[in-house]
Amino acid sequence: MGDILYIVVPCYNEEEVLPETARRLKEKMEHLIAAGRISEESRVLFVNDGSRDKTWSMIEGLHRADRRFSGVNLTRNRGHQNALLAGLMTAKDRADMVISMDADLQDDIDAVDAMVEQYYAGCDIVYGVRSSREKDTFFKRFTAEGFYRVMNFLGAETVFNHADYRLMSKRALEGLAQFKEVNLFLRGIVPMIGYTTGTVEYERGERFAGESKYPLKKMLSFAMEGITSLSTKPIRYITVLGFLVFVVSILMLIYSIVRWANGETVIGWASVICSVWAIGGLILLALGVIGEYIGKIYLETKERPRFLIKEVLDQHEGD
């Protein structure tokens, strides 16, 4: 008999896709159990992130009909990363390995087999990585790949073309539990854990139903959250920029003195105005970036809970 696997699926207003997601995940579970790769005690754990539709009542119905389905109901909407963490921490004490994935069926469920194989080969963390973005529009491909490159350039180390589709062993989850950040960016935190890692490439499909929870505006906010939560490089870059502007100003001062000594009048109110606006813009930019970090410090010092669980549905033999 294999180890216990939990598949954690955060859900926010997923009533349109949930029945199909449950059906496919159940088929995958039964296949792996029949092959002896995972235990009969393995579960699919849906996490309801304060959905406003029938998502939680559907999860309750799935649990009543089949104990293979478990559920976690948060007290209110806490966002994808917090909901995912709630599921991971709930599964940590129940499973030997946990796979996280989204409910929209864009992640290839068949990649689960390869992840489990790498787990048995000694990997504590296995990343699901997109093999290509040929199906994406040029704009989507450009912005998505730019997202990863900018994140890495600014110090938030992530796995290229990896979202939140990954396998983690129990000890990797125990390592994750030691990270106490209130501002969560799991794509950057998980690589910090260490241990042996592996990757599985898969072809990402179209969303089965419903609307994307990550439009461009939210992706930009998500990127800012990740950068300011994991790296101080933006502040360092501002320091370097400030130093360069200072050097340029000294050079301009020397140039002006030399021209004045030669009896040449410097007429250039336009350049002065441009300089004032440029310096003013840099100052506001610097204050904004520093403000982001101060805001993060403010939230961290409060030590508010990252999530609160209202109810857990998880039935096992003998319960």
For residue range 134-182, list pLDDT tens digits in order: 655 666 666 666 666 766 666 667 777 777 899 999 999 999 999 888 7
Instruction: Tell the burial category of 191 from Cβ atoms under 10 Å away from its Cβ (0-12, 13-18, 19+).
Output: middle
The span from the CA of 214 to the CA of 177, in Å, is 26
The span from the CA of 74 to the CA of 56, in Å, is 10
Share of the chain above pLDDT 70, in %: 71
The span from the CA of 236 to the CA of 78, in Å, is 31
Give the torsion sign (CA, 176, 198, 201, 158). Answer: positive
The span from the CA of 49 to the CA of 200, in Å, is 28
pLDDT attached to residue 291: 75
Three-class DSSP category at 202: strand
More confident call, 230 vs 88 = 88
Q: Which fold has domain 5-213+306-313?
A: Spore Coat Polysaccharide Biosynthesis Protein SpsA; Chain A (3.90.550)
pLDDT attached to residue 290: 78
Given a cut of 70, is residue 1 above it in pLDDT?
A: no
The span from the CA of 103 to the CA of 21, in Å, is 6
pLDDT attached to residue 140: 62
Spatial contact of 166 and 112, defined as CB atoms under 8 Å apart:
no
Given a cut of 80, is residue 64 above it in pLDDT?
A: yes
pLDDT attached to residue 159: 75
* Confidence band of 319 (pLDDT split at 50, 70, 90): low
pLDDT attached to residue 305: 79
What DSSP character marks residue 38?
B
List CB contacts of 212: < 8 A, sequence separation 6 or more: 104
pLDDT attached to residue 24: 93
pLDDT attached to residue 223: 63
Kindly state the tokens that stand for 231: 């790296």
Given a cut of 80, is residue 222 above it in pLDDT?
A: no
pLDDT attached to residue 125: 94
pLDDT attached to residue 19: 92
pLDDT attached to residue 142: 64
What DSSP character marks residue 211?
-
Given a cut of 70, is residue 63 above it in pLDDT?
A: yes
* Confidence band of 221 (pLDDT split at 50, 70, 90): low
Given a cut of 80, is residue 202 above it in pLDDT?
A: yes
* Confidence band of 271 (pLDDT split at 50, 70, 90): low
For the ranges 23-27, 129-133, 281-285, the maximum mean pLDDT occurs at 23-27
In the chain, where the domains are located: 5-213+306-313, 233-302
Given a cut of 60, is residue 211 above it in pLDDT?
A: no
pLDDT attached to residue 78: 85
pLDDT attached to residue 264: 62
Radius of gyration for the alpha carbons in the chain, expressed in angstroms and rounded: 25
Q: Which residues, in sequence order, are bridge partners of residue 7?
A: 44, 99
Average model confidence (pLDDT) across the chain = 80
pLDDT attached to residue 116: 92
